[in-house]
Structure 1
Amino acid sequence: MPFSSESSPGNRRAYTLLSLLLAGVAGLVNATGFVALGLHTSHMSGNMATLGESLASGNGPLAWLAAQLLLAFLLGAVSASALLELSRQRSRGRHSAALLLEALTLGGIGAWLASHPGAREPTLMWGLAYAMGLQNALVTRVSGAVVRTTHITGIITDVGIQLVRLVSWLREGARGHGVRGLRQRLGALPTAIEFERTRLHLGLGSAFLLGCTAGPLLFVRLGAATLALPCAVLVLLVALDLSAVATGSQALPRA
């Protein structure tokens, strides 16, 4: 578990960096994809609902598109899991293949959009869903199924859970010790695991929102070149992953 009393502070910092950057990437890709193509390509709950509603209303083309997006997301998750499994025994770059594949997918979509402005080609929607499936599986594996970065429902749920756990932790410190115990817990708050978890999930929500805000704003001004930003973030994470071994440190957590 990345955020437990057994994990090292360095591992928790690396996990936080990876999660926050990828949450921002997901928010940007999701919102930019909606502006460019008219669909939220990381929102699989919505696509499943669209599939059911379309089947019920007899809208075959929309049902088929929703099914394709679900399948593309699944294939992305399978691809990331397979790449992580193949790299498990490597001493370096365990995450690099999945991160590079996501960057290449987003870069290819951006290049196609740049040469065909205004087009809404279904293949591009499949590509974005595939990239988000890749990312979601990567973070799920690295975090031990604690966090997903491509959708906000779980993040908001985790914030609520962690806030209650944080209050319970403070209350336990005060039990039997009164105000003195509460002060001691408050003093230990910045380094407490409970606070780190709460801060992480609040940060994930904020990073996703920042990406959702920045994506459309940049797309209006830069067009398809906006997708160069998430690609740059992914390449940076690859560089950190590879440099971890070169420096003898752990820049990214192990899957």
Structure 2
Amino acid sequence: MSLPDWPVLKLAGPERDERTNRHLAYLLAWVAGVLNSVGFVAVGFYTSHMTGITASVADHLVLAGWRLVGLGVVSIVFFILGAMTCAIQFNWARRRHRSDRFAIVLLTEALLVLLLGGIADQFTWRHREWPLVAVLCFVMGLQNALITKVSDATIRTTHVTGMITDIGIELGKSAYRDRMVDTDPVRGDLAKLTMLAMLVGLFFLGGVLGALGYLALGFVVLLVPAALLLVVAVPPLVDDVP
């Protein structure tokens, strides 16, 4: 069975090029923004920012803020577990020469987000933040590892600090004026700058829409990114069926 020639249905397919990788990263950056903002508005905890979380664990360890220390440790552990799961699934599929190795990881993310969107509003106990943070961080680690695999570690979808740093570097290269005639000219990479700005912008847009959606609908808003992930993940899985 072959996929229709629709670009969106091929984002998780086996045929990769720079454009396909970039568009998959755009989708995942938007999804990450939605998940991150829903986590914060719901339980007051960001789930994509491992640098900040690690710093928070260190600070609250000194200040004896044991709840935040515990949440931070859970966040880091489940982010790592998500990345590990991506590596396991990807390499299992690759060793079996499956063409849906990227789609399998995306399907896992889609199902987890779908489950969270469907049942999280039923979490009414006092410490509901623990399972929510664990699942969201697992998903963040999963998708960040996936785009790392897909792009050979050239693109991230949650590391906004690194992306903004790279934007500054490219702007600096663009602003630099050579005075040495015999040296290689310094040129900013406009394509890279555009991609980085799009990733940051989509993460931000996802955050705005995620926060607004959660305030209006609750965790049901997560069904939207889950549905988009399924649209991308399912066709390559179907295509791999003999």
Alignment of 1:125 onto 2:133: yes
1:98, CA displacement in angstroms? 1.0
Cα distance in 1, alignment partners of residues 240 and 172 from structure 2: 38
In structure 2, the CA distance between the partners of 1:17 and 1:30, relative to structure 1 (3 Å rule), is: same
Cα distance in 2, alignment partners of residues 118 and 103 from structure 1: 25
Instruction: Report the counterpart of residue 105 of structure 2 in structure 1.
Output: 98
Q: Which of 151, 165, 168 lines up with 2:159 in the alignment?
A: 151
Match of 2:51, SS state, is helix
Gaps of at least 5 residues in structure 1 are: 1-9, 177-184, 186-192, 247-255
In structure 2, the CA distance between the partners of 1:39 and 1:104, relative to structure 1 (3 Å rule), is: same
For residues 163-211 of structure 1, give each alpha carbon's deviation from its aligned partner in whole angstroms, at most 9, with x where no partner exists.
344556xx78xx79xxxxxxxx9xxxxxxx9322111111101110110
Cα distance in 2, alignment partners of residues 118 and 35 from structure 1: 17
C-alpha contact (below 8 Å) 1:136/1:149 kept by paired residues: yes
In structure 2, the CA distance between the partners of 1:203 and 1:245, relative to structure 1 (3 Å rule), is: farther
What TM-score do you get using the length of structure 2 for normalisation? 0.81
1:115, CA displacement in angstroms? 2.4
Cα distance in 1, alignment partners of residues 99 and 38 from structure 2: 33
Instruction: Report the counterpart of residue 250 of structure 1 in structure 2.
Output: none
Cα distance in 2, alignment partners of residues 120 and 109 from structure 1: 16
Instruction: Report the counterpart of residue 150 of structure 2 in structure 1.
Output: 142
Aligned residues: 218
Cα distance in 2, alignment partners of residues 123 and 79 from structure 1: 18
1:245, CA displacement in angstroms? 7.2
Matches within 5 A, 1:190-229: 194-229=189-224
Cα distance in 2, alignment partners of residues 155 and 50 from structure 1: 22
What TM-score do you get using the length of structure 1 for normalisation? 0.77
C-alpha contact (below 8 Å) 1:51/1:66 kept by paired residues: yes
RMSD, aligned α-carbons: 2.5
Instruction: Report the counterpart of residue 86 of structure 1 in structure 2.
Output: 92
C-alpha contact (below 8 Å) 1:51/1:67 kept by paired residues: yes
1:212, CA displacement in angstroms? 0.6
Instruction: Report the counterpart of residue 169 of structure 2 in structure 1.
Output: 161
Q: Which of 227, 231, 239 lines up with 2:226 in the alignment?
A: 231
Match of 2:101, SS state, is coil
Instruction: Report the counterpart of residue 108 of structure 1 in structure 2.
Output: 115
In structure 2, the CA distance between the partners of 1:231 and 1:92, relative to structure 1 (3 Å rule), is: same
In structure 2, the CA distance between the partners of 1:14 and 1:134, relative to structure 1 (3 Å rule), is: same
Instruction: Report the counterpart of residue 42 of structure 1 in structure 2.
Output: 48
C-alpha contact (below 8 Å) 1:113/1:119 kept by paired residues: no
In structure 2, the CA distance between the partners of 1:144 and 1:195, relative to structure 1 (3 Å rule), is: same
Match of 1:81, SS state, is helix
- Supply the AA of the counterpart residue of 2:115: G
Q: Which moved more, 1:63-72 or 1:89-98?
A: 89-98
In structure 2, the CA distance between the partners of 1:55 and 1:116, relative to structure 1 (3 Å rule), is: closer
- Supply the AA of the counterpart residue of 1:124: L
Cα distance in 1, alignment partners of residues 22 and 238 from structure 2: 17
Instruction: Report the counterpart of residue 3 of structure 2 in structure 1.
Output: none
C-alpha contact (below 8 Å) 1:111/1:224 kept by paired residues: yes
C-alpha contact (below 8 Å) 2:56/2:72 kept by paired residues: yes
1:230, CA displacement in angstroms? 1.3
Cα distance in 1, alignment partners of residues 213 and 65 from structure 2: 34
Match of 1:150, SS state, is coil
In structure 2, the CA distance between the partners of 1:117 and 1:217, relative to structure 1 (3 Å rule), is: farther
1:144, CA displacement in angstroms? 1.4
Query: Identity across aligned pairs (percent)?
Result: 34
In structure 2, the CA distance between the partners of 1:110 and 1:119, relative to structure 1 (3 Å rule), is: farther
